[in-house]
């Protein structure tokens, strides 16, 4: 018995026949052009099919054999997805068997006895050529990991379905929440296992209903399916499949749905389903949204804000507000720094809440435009305050994930500090915890270079992401900003207070100060102060203020000194 590594010719043919003379004849006909192996019955044929499945070009299969006949072999091949592209030519002397074999998936037939050798060679060559062509098309058609359609073929088939079928087909977009964190914490092999598991469940779902599916991006799946009565049940089905992997990691799905509407093409439907899916990103209470008129209005607003962004910068519609931070380690709270926060006073829409436009610009990569505006304005304003009041004050500005991959980030920030006559430590850089989890090595190297230049790094929203304890020891930071979720209920919940105290204990171990943001009551302030918190930020002291109002705080602080 030959092994795969011994095959010399580029194409391998398996001849299956219980008659030795037939095997010998076919071997002689084929051996000059192909490597040939043999099986004497159906059981041996299946054994060799699996042994050589990755290098087999075609199977020549007799139908009437002992142990397992050719029809049983065809049935087995038809039911195994891994063998779906293996072509089979049946060998038969019975005309009545030809149609049945073709209906079961046979690619062609050769009639016994084998009298015209050239015809046999021509048929084998043609079937191999057709099969290899189909496999090349399939490689382009299907995502290798999940065996779902790739994007371009998916929309080609979706358009055909829309034009030639009368069924009401809905668009469904599935996305894995924080998939980059799943990869970062568990490795890419586990990430691939997650994608395969979801792909398998989607294919199982499509066997039960009309539809097609695609792996659209790294962790986005598009499903074009007949209308479902309960989309929550559909989401639950896919979530339950992933829950089997939850012993390794917490994996959450979110889903957006666009219901069929006459005249709407699939591409637009999936854009709308994806918009619905994006609206529940990060929402731990809601994982499913159906696109509706209200969401359409949100989309129109988003597009207008995107269009108006550069004008907002040029016309200074954007305004920087400053929320003070107070050092509470002494006998009385002392103004020590501030956080720069963006506001947009639109000439037609009025004051737009940052929660409306910040996530939008983060998702489409335009947040860097906002950040650079804030950096420049905060540095200019800080320089004025230093010159006017001779006060030792610093301002924190946001450093988005997009900024961290800007090749001129370090020179931009350094030039900004120097041109305004500031020290690097006067401009503190806030990096969200989640920014460290994607391409973490690169991010950590970048942040380390910024620290070497003299900038101080504040980790914002500590405790809100996946990486807190796993990666904290490797993260270069100078200050922890405790997420306000820890603080909201500390007066009324012993558990929440203990969690806040745990964060403070971690910070003490790391020898870094903690900023508690979102402090609104004196009770919260006292509990945090007693637990060893260094700096307090929140409405208890002051909301974010425009520059002229913040300046009044500076004057008041100087008068108290």
pLDDT score for 439: 61
Domains of the chain (ranges; CATH) run 4-141 (3.40.50.2300), 151-291 (3.30.70.270), 317-560 (3.20.20.450)
**DSSP label at residue 303:** H
pLDDT score for 126: 87
Angle at 404 between CA 399 and CA 406, to 5 degrees: 115
User: On the CB side of 473, how many CA atoms lie within 13 Å of its CA?
Assistant: 3
Is it true that the peptide bond before 113 is cis, omega within 30 degrees of 0? yes
pLDDT at 3 over 60: no
Tell me the pLDDT tens digit for each residue of 249-284: 678 999 999 998 887 889 999 999 998 998 888 777
Tell me the pLDDT tens digit for each residue of 495-551: 889 988 988 998 888 889 999 999 999 999 999 999 999 999 999 999 999 999 999
Tell me the pLDDT tens digit for each residue of 232-242: 999 999 999 99
Per-residue pLDDT, averaged over 86-91, amounts to 88
Cα gap 366→242, rounded to integer Å: 33
Portion of the chain with pLDDT greater than 90, in percent: 47
Per-residue pLDDT, averaged over 352-381, amounts to 92
Cα gap 214→235, rounded to integer Å: 16
**What pTM, to 2 d.p., does this model score?**
0.60
CB neighbour class for 42 (10 Å; exposed up to 12, middle 13-18, buried from 19) = buried
Each as own residue / partner, the long-range contacts of residues 303-310 (CB below 8 Å, 24 or more positions apart, any chain) are 305/352, 305/356, 305/357, 305/360, 306/360, 306/361, 306/364, 306/366, 308/346, 309/361, 309/366, 309/369, 309/370, 310/369
Per-residue pLDDT, averaged over 379-390, amounts to 94
Cα gap 157→326, rounded to integer Å: 61
pLDDT band, very low/low/confident/very high, at 8 (cuts 50, 70, 90): very low
Tokens 């102060």 belong to: 529
Show the tokens assigned to 334. Answer: 């002392």
Cα gap 154→215, rounded to integer Å: 9
Q: What does pLDDT average to over the chain? A: 86
pLDDT band, very low/low/confident/very high, at 428 (cuts 50, 70, 90): very high
Cα gap 239→259, rounded to integer Å: 21
Cα gap 66→108, rounded to integer Å: 22
Tokens 């971690």 belong to: 506
pLDDT band, very low/low/confident/very high, at 86 (cuts 50, 70, 90): confident
Cα gap 185→251, rounded to integer Å: 12
pLDDT at 433 over 60: yes
Per-residue pLDDT, averaged over 289-308, amounts to 87
Report the first-to-last Cα separation within the chain, whole angstroms: 94
Per-residue pLDDT, averaged over 399-404, amounts to 90
pLDDT score for 7: 39
Q: List phi, psi (to 5°) of 509.
A: -65, -40
């Amino acid at each position: 018995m030959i092994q795969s590594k011994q095959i010399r010719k580029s194409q391998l043919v398996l001849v299956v026949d219980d008659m030795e003379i037939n095997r010998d004849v076919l071997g002689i006909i084929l051996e000059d052009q192909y490597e040939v192996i043999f099986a004497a019955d159906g059981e041996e044929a299946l054994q060799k099919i699996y042994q050589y499945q990755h290098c087999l070009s075609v199977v020549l299969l007799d139908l009437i054999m002992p142990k397992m006949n050719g029809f049983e072999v065809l049935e087995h091949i038809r039911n195994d997805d891994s063998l779906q592209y293996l072509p089979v030519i049946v060998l038969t002397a019975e005309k009545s068997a030809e149609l049945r074999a073709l209906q079961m998936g046979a690619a062609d037939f050769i009639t016994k006895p084998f009298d015209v050798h050239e015809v046999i060679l021509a048929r084998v060559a043609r079937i191999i050529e057709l099969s290899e062509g189909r496999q090349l098309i399939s490689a382009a058609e299907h995502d290798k990991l999940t065996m779902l359609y790739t994007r371009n073929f998916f929309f080609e088939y979706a358009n055909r379905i829309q034009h030639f079928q009368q069924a009401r087909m809905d668009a469904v977009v599935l996305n894995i929440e924080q998939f980059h964190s799943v990869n970062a914490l568990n490795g890419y092999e586990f990430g691939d296992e997650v994608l395969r598991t979801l792909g398998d469940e989607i294919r199982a779902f499509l066997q039960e209903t009309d539809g097609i599916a695609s792996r659209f991006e790294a962790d986005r799946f598009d499903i074009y399916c007949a209308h479902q009565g309960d989309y929550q049940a559909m989401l639950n089905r896919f979530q339950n499949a992933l829950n089997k992997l939850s012993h390794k990691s917490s994996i959450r799905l979110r889903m957006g749905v666009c219901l069929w509407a006459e005249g709407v093409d699939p591409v637009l439907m999936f854009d709308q389903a994806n918009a619905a899916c994006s609206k529940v990103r990060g929402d731990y209470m809601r994982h499913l949204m159906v696109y509706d008129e209200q969401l359409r209005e949100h989309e129109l607003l988003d597009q207008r804000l995107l269009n108006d962004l550069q004008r907002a910068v040029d016309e200074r519609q954007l305004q920087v507000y400053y929320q003070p931070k107070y050092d509470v380690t002494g006998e009385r709270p002392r103004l020590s720094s501030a956080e720069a926060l963006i506001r947009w006073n639109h000439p037609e829409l009025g004051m737009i809440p940052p929660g409306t436009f910040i996530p939008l610009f983060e998702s489409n990569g335009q947040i860097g435009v906002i950040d650079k505006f804030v950096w420049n304005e905060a540095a200019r304003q800080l320089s004025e305050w230093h010159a006017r009041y001779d006060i030792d004050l610093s301002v924190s500005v946001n450093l988005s994930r997009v900024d961290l991959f800007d090749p001129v980030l370090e020179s931009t920030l350094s030039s900004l500090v120097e041109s305004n006559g500031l020290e690097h430590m006067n401009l503190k850089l806030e990096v969200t915890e989640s920014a460290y989890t994607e391409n973490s090595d690169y991010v950590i190297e970048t942040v380390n270079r910024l620290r070497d230049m003299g900038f101080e790094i504040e980790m914002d929203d500590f405790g809100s992401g996946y990486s807190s304890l796993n990666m904290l020891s490797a993260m270069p930071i100078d200050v922890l900003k405790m997420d306000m979720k820890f603080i909201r209920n500390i007066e009324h919940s012993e558990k929440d207070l203990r969690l806040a105290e745990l964060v403070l204990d971690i910070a003490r171990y790391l020898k870094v100060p903690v900023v508690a943001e979102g402090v609104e009551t004196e009770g919260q302030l006292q509990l945090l102060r007693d637990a060893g918190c260094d700096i307090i930020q929140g409405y208890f002291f002051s909301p974010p203020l425009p520059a002229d109002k913040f300046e009044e705080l500076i004057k008041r602080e100087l008068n108290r000194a």
